[in-house]
Amino acid sequence: MDRHPNRTTVGTANTGGGGYQPEPYDIPYRAIVARKIENLLVAGRCHSATAAAASSTRVTATAMALGQAAGTAAALAHKLGTSVAALNGIRLREELVAQGAGPFTDA
């Protein structure tokens, strides 16, 4: 977790307890699907997440994985003749697993 404070802090770099390393986790497809604009995916750092979750999900390797997921979702939606919002996230994950993406915790 690379969590930055939202205000100026006091103390030293050695106070405050430091960060922690979460267990591996999956990112739901809906985190990159725009709610109000049809057929728009939002990959990389600007995906939807809480501040705490984003302290892990916004880093470079994950941003790259989100880009791969968005590109794959766009291609899959086009192939299936549907919108990205209507695309089944599990179907997308199957496609990503076939590409060797992941690992996923539930695949």
Ligand X SMILES: Cc1cc2nc3c(=O)[nH]c(=O)nc-3n(C[C@H](O)[C@H](O)[C@H](O)COP(=O)(O)OP(=O)(O)OC[C@H]3O[C@@H](n4cnc5c(N)ncnc54)[C@H](O)[C@@H]3O)c2cc1C
Q: What is the distance between the alpha carbons of residues 19 and 11, in angstroms, rounded to a whole number? A: 16
40 is a contact residue toward ligand X (CB under 6 A): no
Q: Which of 31, 40, 42, 45 binds ligand X (CB under 6 A)?
A: 45
User: Per the structure block, which two tokens stand in for 22?
Assistant: 């979460």
Q: Which of 40, 44, 85, 89 binds ligand X (CB under 6 A)?
A: 44
Please give the residues from 63 up to 102 whose contact with ligand X meets the rule CB under 6 A. 63
C-alpha dihedral sign at 58, 62, 67, 71: negative
Q: Which of 59, 80, 86, 97 binds ligand X (CB under 6 A)?
A: 59
CA atoms within 13 A on the CB side of 50: 3
Q: Which range binds ligand X by CB under 6 A, 26-34, 58-66, 69-77, 86-94? A: 58-66
